[in-house]
Structure 1
């Protein structure tokens, strides 16, 4: 219409505006007379509506509470509590998630409901709430499990843990916004925390000897010798069976992982399913372990291959088993990664060593291998990485320490190819 700002039009004797909402053109009557002053006001109102839609902060029923465009269903969705939203989203997500991922998502959402209030309206959660929650996760106290809402003395969470929780909440509130439960995604622009890469803290040779000396029994010695000389993840060690060991060629096939207690799955990544070449110390550890578990009765376990896929049934004679030192009534047939961690902590403390996380057994293998001159690509395959890129990024320091020995190898090799040259050559003047 001539003389009317964009999106403003006359409707009878009054003005109305139109705008695009959820892909459709909608109109709202303002109920004000058509005057030049009101046209300008209507244009400003429309501009603010369009900006709110663009930035994800537009709540239709708040801006136009009497509008016929707001359905009863939309109004009821805005009354959804945080707990109801979490339950609905997880119900829809469950078929897509591995059991370990589902468990982590559930834990993250339980924390969210605890801190933000399970009865809080999902539509009432603000960007300020989201930022405060992120900061609380990073620096706040942990809560006790079993639903007890008291706090322990443990304080703070890792950047990785906080960012993983943020990722879950960004996804859930994106779903909420797209489906009309909220007018915006309060977590949309909450930034991820910058993570400083933790430097590997491997054992020295002397510390390794002390660790082994601090082990409770011979099986524990075999566990940590095998771990430090193969670099396997602890979930992979938990799932390792004698059926996976080739005792002629001395290789080990990594066929399963234990990401969640009692729930076997495929290795962490596609490249994690691999066959590794065993080093002599690892072979010796297996030979010492044979009398303890090799002749145990195989245990049938289901290996979960992914959401919606029938599990694979494996008969496993586990290489490392709690049954070696504990009765059947007191222990299971395999170690959980948490049990291996407790075994590590006991040995470290008994040996009087500075505390490190049990995962340093994996770093120890990588650092020892690289400082001994092993090919980074070979080490990457052994450890289940898709390429040597991560090896270079994480363990570059240990590779550079080997520069002189590598130079000696080159000098020795190149010396065989260099042509003989006369020692005294006169340059023509």
Structure 2
């Protein structure tokens, strides 16, 4: 064979085949003994590749299974690219774009739920009915089911917009309805009974929670530099989720909260304990170190206090509901309450807390 044959370059005991596939110039090197028979076979192989490309039957991985390009081109073949591969690649691409807690949730959804069920399927094999069957069979809350589908929806959205698939089966799968829990705020007597069960840092933390409306994840991330006694407010900028500091849940969550008298008193009492040479306001009194996560507060402080006070258990989030209902009951403007809570508008206030808004006479 002529060493200068078009599309083929001989290099000792190997040869490089060049061809164009999907508008991309490709070059693949394969081992080849320096014999005429091997060279003739190489010409036939290239001709076969060109023929398969022209007829739309070319399988890159079949011809070059160890090629890096083959793995990339598989992503454009919905009949070959598996859902498991797509999910893993999507997760890897988003590692630096998302908060660690978000990546942890996505990883759990992908590796514990989606891949075991759909991982071996080719992209083209997924149908809406298969997803609906999965949702019907898995024993989880509707909210959790919807969250599990988020990575799968994102992957198929990308595939559709990149024109790798002609239709997105997830568009025919609606999120399941989630029942909203009614707020169960604490009354002033219950608040007093709970606070009487606490002392020191624990009392300051829970008192501040009741009278500031901050989420527990925002409470444990609050810094002294975010407290302004002169302006009588705290600046909510960060939250601590699963040991990691992050921005507030939403853009509107970044807010200035006016200090109610009881909240101000709690901070003044806390300042004596952690105000000197400390960044974080509230500490775990057992270690005198900042709280690692909000779950520890529920187990160590909240639940035992309610039990000792003889009060029916409600989760710590009810301190937010208590704060909102107190402000509204005394006639505060719903727009002001929405801002204090970190809502982007007052529609949620009306929807969730409407019965605490005094009716005009």
Unaligned runs of 5+ in 1: 1-64, 141-155, 299-316, 408-429
Contact 2:242–2:292, Cα closer than 8 Å, also in 1: no
**Cα distance in 1 for residues equivalent to 2:247 and 2:169:** 35
Contact 1:115–1:133, Cα closer than 8 Å, also in 2: no
Structure 1 equivalent of residue 152 of structure 2: 169
Structure 2 equivalent of residue 116 of structure 1: 117
Q: What's the CA shift for 1:175?
A: 3.1
Structure 2 equivalent of residue 237 of structure 1: 219
Structure 2 equivalent of residue 131 of structure 1: 132
Contact 1:81–1:119, Cα closer than 8 Å, also in 2: yes
Per-residue deviation, residues 336-372 of structure 1 (Å, max 9, x unmatched):
2222332322322332322212111101100111111
**Cα distance in 2 for residues equivalent to 1:101 and 1:272:** 17
- 1:358 paired to 2:316: yes
Unaligned runs of 5+ in 2: 1-51, 61-72
Contact 1:250–1:277, Cα closer than 8 Å, also in 2: yes
Listed as ranges, the matches of 1:143-292 within 5 Å are 156-157=140-141, 159-176=142-159, 185-215=168-198, 217-258=199-240, 260-292=241-273
**Cα distance in 2 for residues equivalent to 1:103 and 1:223:** 28
Structure 2 equivalent of residue 394 of structure 1: 352
Contact 2:135–2:145, Cα closer than 8 Å, also in 1: yes
Q: 1:373 aligns with which of 331, 340, 343?
A: 331
Equivalent residues, number? 295
**Cα distance in 1 for residues equivalent to 2:347 and 2:169:** 36
* CA 122–112 in structure 1, closer or farther in 2 if over 3 Å, else same: farther
What secondary structure does 2:94 align onto?
helix
Over aligned residues, Cα RMSD in angstroms?
Answer: 2.7
**Cα distance in 1 for residues equivalent to 2:248 and 2:161:** 34
Per-residue deviation, residues 140-186 of structure 1 (Å, max 9, x unmatched):
1xxxxxxxxxxxxxxx32x3332232233222133345668777644
What secondary structure does 1:174 align onto?
helix
What secondary structure does 2:311 align onto?
coil
* CA 214–245 in structure 1, closer or farther in 2 if over 3 Å, else same: same
Q: 2:280 aligns with which of 315, 318, 321?
A: 318
Instruction: Give me the TM-score of the superposition, normalised by structure 2.
Output: 0.73
What secondary structure does 1:271 align onto?
coil
Instruction: Give me the TM-score of the superposition, normalised by structure 1.
Output: 0.62
